[in-house]
Amino acid sequence: MQISNPNRPRIHTENFSGRRRFLLGFIMSCMVVLVGRAIHLQVFKKDFLQERSRYVDTVSISSYRGNIEDRNGEALAISSPAPSVTINPKEIVKDDESVVTQMEKKFRADNHLEKLSENDKQAVLRLYRQEKQEKLAHLETMLGLSKGKIKDVLDEKKDKGFAYLAKKINPGLAEQVKELKLAGVDVLREFKRFYPSGEITAHLLGFTNAEDVGQVGLEKSYETVLKGADGKKRVIKDGLHQVIADVENISSPIPGKKLELSIDQRIQYLAFRELQNAVNVNKAKAGALVVLDAKTGEILAAVNQPSFNPNAKNDLKEILYRNRAFTEVFEPGSTVKPFVVAAALDGNYIRPGDLFVTDGVFAVGSNLVKDTHNYGTLNVEGVIKKSSNIGVAKMALKMPVDYFCGRYRNLGFGESPATGFPGEASGRMPSGKRMRDFDRAILSYGYGLNMSAIQLARSYTALADDGILHSVSLLKRDEDVDARRVFSEKTARKVRTMMESVITKEGTAYEARVEGYRVAGKTGTAKKAGAHGYSPNSYFALFAGLAPASNPRLVIVVMIDEPSAGQYYGGLVSAPVFSKVMAGSLRLLGVTPDQENTMPILLAKKN
């Protein structure tokens, strides 16, 4: 039996029931309003909303790759706008509701219908899909794709949200793609690398791939300098996923830095033209030519044959874009003989007036050193002028092994020239340990070691700049802080004067003469080594020289690989190329002539 508490307050149930009904009624009213609004928007305002569908997205902003310029500011590599066309496989296979709705609206208007039957809707859908396929087929034609290529891409990338259809296309073509207004097809802002000088600087600059990343040459070695950083921005896209407005920049793109080379485009062109002509005329396998500033070690030109067009590099083979001047080595032959003379003079192992008997054959142990002719007795200058193997071998044998090999190493033989060019060769310089006399003898006329054209040109700066060896650089600079003395000034000048005799009618390189200028140089004709020893019919034709000899400004090395048109001596094949390139380069640089007996003739020509 429950006993009620007379003190407990009484609940007015009628008041509670009224509030509950009010709250329930209010909630139900709100729900009705919301449902009604949803029906209104989804049914009666469907066309309005779909036509105006918008959303915010974040997209990247491509950065601008830095230009490469020559020492005078001439553009060698630039980036120009080249958009790419992409496709979203997930999006392209769906039916775009906004487009279908627009087509239904037009269908109703054209046929004066209030609403569409299910059959009419299916007809509109078929029409939409047909138009989409026609646009895709037209897109294939516009982009030069094979028939069915887009379908293959969609099948292959069906689970992906991104695939390229075409990379780096013409901006005008990109605008035509945009006008198709295909949902799932987009145009990306990108850049294409362009090389105005084409084949002339191809080996030096290299090229970039489709993603604008350097693959070979300076484009590769200076990738971190040239490549910028992409930016980001928020944009508004429409129902077709096309950008219709920018909202804000999240981060601005950072362009790559400019690369200023030591190359002089004028000299580069001149060297390319003359080397190409020489390779063709002599039916040679290949060739390389290097021009250095004798005072700074800057590389003013470096060309190769055969060459290639970096703007059209489809199916390009590695052998074509290999920069022989930097990456390939050869035995330098007689071009090293002036260094043997300089080393012997510097160490007081010989004197300029010493005489050397060169009667055609010289026995060194069980081996023989031979000359092409019997030159009789020669002084030191005569050994250089006639390029006597016997004479220079006798000089080398007067010097201790360590001293002799040390002088070669001081010239950079066997070490990388450190230009920063990818894959540059270090060459080979044998150790002096347990070196036989015959090994020393053949080293004196350029066999038993090898080097690149750049290394040989660098070594000649020691004779050109009065005994100071320069480092070499592909970047423009005012001075060489790494220069070092390897010969005395007196010795370098004396040897340079002796080398002028090579460019006389009695010497081996009369074809290397340059009107108005004194020239010093040395020929080289080296047999090529193969799998079974030296080939009897394959040669490197070489010439290394400098001018004006009184105060050298330029050093040039010419290498022609396997000339086969009849001539193969360096003095007949490479010396004429040196002459033309040196003559043109000195005039381009405005270097004053130093050959006194031609000064009146030159002045008369100017007047």
In a shared domain, residues 137 and 230: no
Mapping DSSP to helix (H, G, I), strand (E, B) and coil, where does residue 157 land? coil
Taking the C-alpha atoms of residue 582 and residue 574, their distance in angstroms, rounded to an integer, is 12
Structure tokens given for 573: 């094949």
In a shared domain, residues 202 and 307: no
In a shared domain, residues 303 and 223: no
* Per-residue pLDDT tens digits for 470-514: 999 999 999 999 999 999 999 999 999 999 999 999 999 999 999
Contact 289, 275 (CB under 8 A): yes
Counting runs of H as helices and runs of E as strands, what totals does the chain give?
23, 23
In a shared domain, residues 212 and 313: no
Residue 533 to residues 366, 371, 530, 536, Cα–Cα distance (Å): 19, 20, 5, 9
Domain boundary among 261, 292, 319: 261
Per the domain annotation, does 252 fall within a domain? Answer: yes
Tally the domains of the chain.
Answer: 3
Contact 90, 160 (CB under 8 A): yes
Q: What is the mean pLDDT of residues 390-395?
A: 98
Per the domain annotation, does 27 fall within a domain? Answer: no
Q: List the CATH number of the domain containing 203.
A: 3.90.1310.10
Taking the C-alpha atoms of residue 194 and residue 168, their distance in angstroms, rounded to an integer, is 11
What is the pLDDT, as a whole number, of residue 95?
A: 65
Per the domain annotation, does 40 fall within a domain? Answer: no
Taking the C-alpha atoms of residue 548 and residue 465, their distance in angstroms, rounded to an integer, is 11
Q: How many Cβ atoms sit within 10 Å of the Cβ of residue 89?
A: 19
Taking the C-alpha atoms of residue 159 and residue 403, their distance in angstroms, rounded to an integer, is 70
Domain boundary among 147, 164, 189: 189
In a shared domain, residues 356 and 487: yes
Look up the pTM and report it.
Answer: 0.80
- pLDDT-derived band at 1 (thresholds 50, 70, 90) equals very low
* Per-residue pLDDT tens digits for 203-213: 999 999 878 89
How many Å is the maximal CA-CA distance in the chain? 151
Buried b (16+ CB within 10 A) or exposed e, 187-211: bebbbbbebebebbbbbbbbbbeee
- pLDDT-derived band at 50 (thresholds 50, 70, 90) equals very low
In a shared domain, residues 109 and 230: no
In a shared domain, residues 480 and 366: yes
Q: Which residue range is the domain that position 211 belongs to?
A: 57-82+191-261
Q: What is the mean pLDDT of residues 16-20?
A: 69
Burial of 141 (0-12, 13-18, 19+ CB in 10 A): exposed
Domain boundary among 211, 241, 261: 261
In a shared domain, residues 224 and 304: no
- Report the run of H or E that residue 58 belongs to, with start and end: strand 54-61
User: What residue spans of 365-422 are helical by DSSP H?
Assistant: 380-386, 389-398, 401-410
Among the listed residues 512, 574, 527, the one whose alpha carbon sits nearest the alpha carbon of residue 281: 574
Taking the C-alpha atoms of residue 532 and residue 139, their distance in angstroms, rounded to an integer, is 58
- pLDDT-derived band at 366 (thresholds 50, 70, 90) equals very high
In a shared domain, residues 281 and 217: no
More confident of the two residues 544 and 17: 544
In a shared domain, residues 330 and 462: yes
pLDDT of 55 higher than 90: no
Structure tokens given for 328: 């390939």
Per the domain annotation, does 383 fall within a domain? Answer: yes
Per the domain annotation, does 23 fall within a domain? Answer: no
Selecting among 98, 334, 459, 574, the annotated active-site residue is: 334
Which amino acid does the sequence have at 538? S
What is the pLDDT, as a whole number, of residue 54?
A: 63
Q: List the CATH number of the domain containing 515.
A: 3.40.710.10
Burial of 388 (0-12, 13-18, 19+ CB in 10 A): buried
Per the domain annotation, does 26 fall within a domain? Answer: no
What is the pLDDT, as a whole number, of residue 489?
A: 98
What is the pLDDT, as a whole number, of residue 607?
A: 43
Contact 432, 439 (CB under 8 A): no
Query: Dihedral of the CA atoms 269, 272, 276, 277 (nearest 10)?
Result: 50
Q: CA 481: distance to chain centroid?
A: 26
Structure tokens given for 289: 């030519």
User: Most confidently modeled of 52-56, 180-184, 422-426?
Assistant: 422-426
Using only C-alpha atoms, what is the Rg of the chain? 39
Residue 395 to residues 229, 339, 399, Cα–Cα distance (Å): 59, 11, 7
* Per-residue pLDDT tens digits for 254-302: 888 999 999 999 999 999 999 999 999 999 999 999 999 999 999 999 9
pLDDT of 600 higher than 60: no
DSSP string, 233-295: EEEEEETT--EEEEEEEEE--BPPPPEEBS--HHHHHHHHHHHHHHHHHTT-SEEEEEEEETT
Q: Which residue has the tokens 């090999």?
A: 405
In a shared domain, residues 231 and 330: no
DSSP string, 506-546: TSS-GGG-BTTB--EEEEEEEEEEETTEEEEEEEEEEEEEE
pLDDT of 130 higher than 90: no
* 334 belongs to the catalytic site: yes
Per the domain annotation, does 41 fall within a domain? Answer: no
In a shared domain, residues 218 and 73: yes
Per the domain annotation, does 434 fall within a domain? Answer: yes
